Amino acid sequence: MSANKIYIAGHTGMVGSSILEAFQQRGYADIITKSSSELDLRRQADVETFIHQVKPDMIILAAARVGGIWANNEYPYEFLFDNLAIQHNVINAAHQNNVERLIFLGSSCIYPKHADQPLKEQYLLTGSLEPTNQWYAIAKIAGLKLCEALKREYGRNYIALMPTNLYGRRDNFDLETSHVVPAMIRKFHEAKEEGHQPVKLWGSGMPMREFLYVNDLADAVLYAVENKLEESMYNIGTGIDLSINDLAQLIQDIVGHQGEIQWDESKPDGTPRKLLDVSKIHSAGWNHSTELKRGLQKTYSWFLQNESNFKEVKIKV
């Protein structure tokens, strides 16, 4: 194992909890976690004190303010400020305290809205962003550039992984702040329970999207920890996409909903297509292992088991 003491920031979220579970299953024992109520990563002095005291050998930065199109568009300040504050506080504290390694998790939304497909790492900053998620994207671009700058200027082994759209166990199923997969699962399930009522979905159903099961991202993080990656940034995905309409029909079939799907084209579609070029991480030796239908089945099973207490994330309470 290539790291002794590991701090996982954001361990209660869908991504962080999956990473924590993967590392524990691998046998990593010295793992540090702090909930947001114990440590607010937006508070610089608190973060600096914490990192100085615990002195981790590695930090995995999975903490972030996340949400779907509506949440990004409705709360631009929170998505920009919170993410800037979280990542810059943690990355700077890591640098100041000589933390040897850091893995920063970004997002595929960092790429220009109309970039060529599939999206290569070098397409970053070659065009304008999708307006509905620009706030989140700008923050994530700043974070990955901070890691790149530290690697270039100080030789820090800080790597940024850019995952595609994620889904899986412990996702956020709040219909206002969730991403497309958990929102669809909940809508189809509730419509089925109400006698197979019609389900109204945002947009035209035409945009193309790629989806990665969250356990596969956790596996990619493990791979990055246990293997030497030369570049400062890697796309993490499946390299396979489908239309939102096809996704809806697939989830509808898994849930068993037999009603009508109604598309609300007055709502935004977002980026027309967002498919990652994953050839760089493939060349480094990592591939995903969970196909979409199987991952969706696992996610719906988890939803059914946790229907009484699934997670709903509110931006403002």
Active site residues: 136
d(CA 110, CA 84): 14
Tokens of 77: 């300040």
Name, in order, each residue with C-beta under 8 angstroms of 196's C-beta and a sequence gap of 6 or more: 257, 258, 259
